[in-house]
Amino acid sequence: MSFASVAIIVACLVIMGSVSMIALNIDALIKDMETQNEVVAFVDEELDDAEAMAIEAAILQVPNVADAEFVNRQEAMDNFMSNYDEQLREGIDVEVFRHRYVLHLNDITKMAETKQGLENVPGVAKVNAHFDYAKAFISIRNIVSVISLILILVLVLVSIFIMTNTIKLATYGRREEIAIMKMVGAGNAFIRLPFIVEGLVLGLLGGGIAFLALWGLYELVTQKVLEVFTGSFLNVVPYTSVHVYVLGCFMAISVIVGVFGAVNAIRNYLKV
Amino acid sequence: MIKMKNVRMTYANSDVEALNGVDLTINDGEFVFLVGPSGSGKTTIMKLITGEIRATSGQVNVNDFDMVHIRRSKLPKMRRTLGVVFQDFRLIDNMNVYDNVAFAMRVVGARRRDIRTRVPYVLELVGLEGREKRMPNELSGGEQQRVAIARALVNNPRLIVADEPTGNLDPVRSLELMLLFEKINEMGTTILVVTHEKELVNAFSKRVITISDGHVISDGMDGYYSYEIE
């Protein structure tokens, strides 16, 4: 039963940890996108150069705009040309391009409101904001976060239940010894403490094994993922950058599960 | 000292009164046999004395503790003033003789030096010197019961209560055990022996309290087991 108890704690913590690591990676990916993705606000064609540059202050006043860089027609054409062969560049006139502002946002979850705000700035003709991927990731992150929270709650309760039963069986196995202890006048703490220590040790053992198991599993999975997405935008959070927090969380949960399970068993099954 | 006054006891899962108005007093230093047929209430009295159960009404005082109103947290302190001996010995199988006896001192937080001094003394007192390393399954029934008595005695209690201590022993061993209790009593410890072994009770000139149907029907100093229906 002790083995089963440790195994359940390991399984619960590895599941919890896996889901949390997925959420963490999606979060990191979104943050990455926030810095990489740009919103482009095109200036009305009827505005001359000086008027176009003058609206920068109004653009920066829009909530959630982190910074704005003015790009004139010529710079825009040069950027465009650099991406194409010379044959394709021929015959393109600079007037085809508009003056524009390249913007970064503070929070891409407020992208829709920011876009609306930019479109309302006088002199802005059109706003291009391609945050479809980010929006999808935000949705996934939110779903994973909710699942993660529910899982943590359910798995902690399952672990406590298993731990309670483990300690209950331990008290049953030592019932004669306990009866003798009571008869000779052993104090409550003397009788109960070994079971609380047992719960604590089982919990910490489970937490330690789970920490190492998650590490191994995470390294294995991320290695495979990076092999599949070689050269893409995908970056994974290294386990070593969060391992102290993971260890801390696992130990805290293990202690709670171990001690609470033991206390629960003692309260219900060990009448001293 | 044990003092019971108009003690009534009805178990939660039963309508029958296990005790219906028991009055008895056992003074310090006495040797008393508590006798009576099965179901008469002997075990209930034992449980009231050890604090396993509480009386429905009346007064129960054991070694100056009010056993009706005693807090659970105070029970260990009260139990340290008495030693309990059971019919089935209740030794810890995976501990040798020495550790079984020392265990009773360890659980009450006795110092190692005191344990090393007291345990051999008590084992010698009960006639188990040289058997310290034996495991319970290597001992006879009589020897196992002596270990149980040594354990009950080791914390120097004011009172020893023994519930059918000779139930698993032959007549010779039973007599030896009673002589041991008598010896312990002579050293100042109060002894209460619950039994239904008529021959044994009548062999000693001790006080005999007879219980029947949940109340005391006789209490005499003549050492005579008066109850005939067994």
Mutation pick from A175, A177, A183, A272 vs chain B, by most beta carbons of B within 10 Å, is A183
Position A159 scores a pLDDT of 82
C-alpha torsion angle, residues A11, A17, A23, A29 (rounded to 10): -120
Task: Extract long-range pairs of B220-223: CB within 8 Å, 24+ residues apart.
Answer: B223/B33
Position B158 scores a pLDDT of 93
Nearest Cα neighbor of A169 from A99, A270, A78, A39 is: A270
Position A271 scores a pLDDT of 64
* Cα dist from A217 to A9, A15, A203, whole Å: 16, 11, 21
Q: How confident is the model at residue B46 (pLDDT cuts 50, 70, 90)?
A: very high
Residues of A whose CB is below 8 A from B155? 184-185
Nearest to B104 among A184, A187, A190 (CB): A184
Check: CB of residue B91 under 8 Å from CB of residue B136: yes
Q: Of the segments A187-196, B125-134, B216-225, which one has the largest average pLDDT value?
A: B125-134
Q: How confident is the model at residue B44 (pLDDT cuts 50, 70, 90)?
A: very high
Residue, of A139 and B150, whose pLDDT is higher: B150
What percent of chain B clears pLDDT 90, i.e. is strictly above it?
A: 63
pLDDT(B186) > 90: yes
Residues of B whose CB is below 8 A from A181? 107
Residues of B whose CB is below 8 A from A187? 76
Residue, of B123 and A177, whose pLDDT is higher: B123
Q: pLDDT tens for residues B195-207?
A: 888 888 888 889 9
Position A210 scores a pLDDT of 93
Taking all residues of chain B, what is their mean pLDDT, rounded to a whole number?
Answer: 90
Helix (H) or strand (E) holding B200: helix B198-203
* Cα dist from B187 to B82, B85, B184, B192, whole Å: 15, 18, 5, 15
pLDDT(A72) > 70: yes
Task: Extract long-range pairs of A50-59: CB within 8 Å, 24+ residues apart.
Answer: A51/A123, A52/A99, A52/A123, A53/A99, A54/A123, A55/A101, A55/A121, A55/A122, A55/A123, A55/A124, A56/A101, A58/A121, A58/A122, A58/A123, A59/A101, A59/A103, A59/A118, A59/A121, A59/A124
Contact A185 B107 (CB under 8 A): yes
Nearest Cα neighbor of A207 from A248, A237, A157, A158 is: A248
* Cα dist from B115 to A153, B92, B98, whole Å: 49, 18, 10
| DSSP 8-state secondary structure symbol assigned to residue B74 | G
Tell me the sheet residues that pair with B57.
B8
User: How buried is A240 (Cβ within 10 angstroms: 0-12 exposed, 13-18 middle, 19+ buried)?
Assistant: exposed
Residues of A whose CB is below 8 A from B151? 184
Q: How confident is the model at residue B151 (pLDDT cuts 50, 70, 90)?
A: very high
pLDDT(A272) > 60: no
Q: pLDDT tens for residues B170-183?
A: 888 888 889 999 99
Helix (H, G, I), strand (E, B) or coil at B120: helix
Is pTM, for the whole model, over 0.90? no
Nearest to A180 among B73, B78, B90 (CB): B90
Q: For chain A, say whether B155 makes contact (Cβ under 8 Å).
A: yes
Q: pLDDT tens for residues B1-15?
A: 899 999 999 998 888
ipTM exceeds 0.90: no
Give mean pLDDT, residues A242-265.
89
Contact B107 A181 (CB under 8 A): yes
- Which residues, including other chains, have CB under 8 Å from residue A76's CB and lie 6 or more apart? A97, A98, A99, A100
To 10 degrees, what angle do helices B171-186 and B141-153 make?
A: 20
Residues of B whose CB is below 8 A from A180? 90, 92, 103-104
- From CA A76, how far away is CA A97, in angstroms rounded? 7
Give mean pLDDT, residues A30-45.
78
B110 → chain A, closest CA residue: A186
Position B47 scores a pLDDT of 92
Give mean pLDDT, residues A106-132.
83
Contact B79 A188 (CB under 8 A): no
Q: How confident is the model at residue A36 (pLDDT cuts 50, 70, 90)?
A: low
Residue, of A92 and B219, whose pLDDT is higher: B219
Position A258 scores a pLDDT of 87
Nearest to B107 among A176, A184, A272 (CB): A184
* Cα dist from B38 to A124, A125, B212, B215, whole Å: 102, 103, 9, 13
Taking all residues of chain A, what is their mean pLDDT, rounded to a whole number?
Answer: 83
pLDDT(A232) > 70: no
Q: pLDDT tens for residues A206-220?
A: 999 999 999 999 999
Q: Residues 48-87, chain B: which have Cβ within 8 Å of A?
A: 50, 72-73, 75-80, 83-84
Q: For chain A, say whether B118 makes contact (Cβ under 8 Å).
A: no
Q: For chain A, say whether B202 makes contact (Cβ under 8 Å).
A: no
A-B C-beta contacts closer than 8 Å: 43
Give mean pLDDT, residues B147-161.
93
Q: How confident is the model at residue B144 (pLDDT cuts 50, 70, 90)?
A: very high
Residues of B whose CB is below 8 A from A183? 50, 79, 84, 90
SS3 of chain A: the string is CHHHHHHHHHHHHHHHHHHHHHHHHHHHHHHHHHHHCCEEEEECCCCCHHHHHHCHHHHHCCCCEEEEEEECHHHHHHHHHCCCCHHHHCCCCHHHCCCEEEEEECCHHHHHHHHHHHHCCCCEEEEECCCHHHHHHHHHHHHHHHHHHHHHHHHHHHHHHHHHHHHHHHHHHCHHHHHHHHHCCCCHHHHHHHHHHHHHHHHHHHHHHHHHHHHHHHHHHHHHHHHHCCCCCCCCCCHHHHHHHHHHHHHHHHHHHHHHHHHHHHHHHCCC
Contact B80 A184 (CB under 8 A): yes
Mutation pick from B106, B107, B154, B160 vs chain A, by most beta carbons of A within 10 Å, is B107
Position B24 scores a pLDDT of 92
pLDDT(A270) > 80: no
To 10 degrees, what angle do helices A188-228 and A132-173 make?
A: 150
Position B229 scores a pLDDT of 46
B51 → chain A, closest CA residue: A183
Q: pLDDT tens for residues A130-163?
A: 666 667 777 877 887 888 888 888 888 888 888 8
- From CA A192, how far away is CA A266, in angstroms rounded? 7
Give mean pLDDT, residues A243-262.
90
- From CA B109, how far away is CA B119, in angstroms rounded? 14
- Strands of the sheet containing A100-105, edge to edge, are A65-71, A100-105, A39-43, A124-128
To 10 degrees, what angle do helices B97-106 and B112-125 make?
A: 130
Q: For chain A, say whether B88 makes contact (Cβ under 8 Å).
A: no
CA distance A181 to chain B (A): 7
Position B226 scores a pLDDT of 65
CA distance B74 to chain A (A): 9
Check: CB of residue B125 under 8 Å from CB of residue B153: yes
CA distance B229 to chain A (A): 32
Contact A185 B84 (CB under 8 A): no
Check: CB of residue B208 under 8 Å from CB of residue B218: yes
- From CA A37, how far away is CA A249, in angstroms rounded? 33
Q: How confident is the model at residue B230 (pLDDT cuts 50, 70, 90)?
A: very low
Nearest to B73 among A185, A188, A190 (CB): A188
Position A3 scores a pLDDT of 80
CA distance A1 to chain B (A): 21
Q: pLDDT tens for residues B96-107?
A: 999 999 999 998
- From CA A179, how far away is CA B45, in angstroms rounded? 18
pLDDT(B168) > 50: yes
Contact A185 B78 (CB under 8 A): yes
Q: Determine which of A32-41, A100-109, B86-95, B158-167 has the lowest per-residue pLDDT on average.
A: A32-41
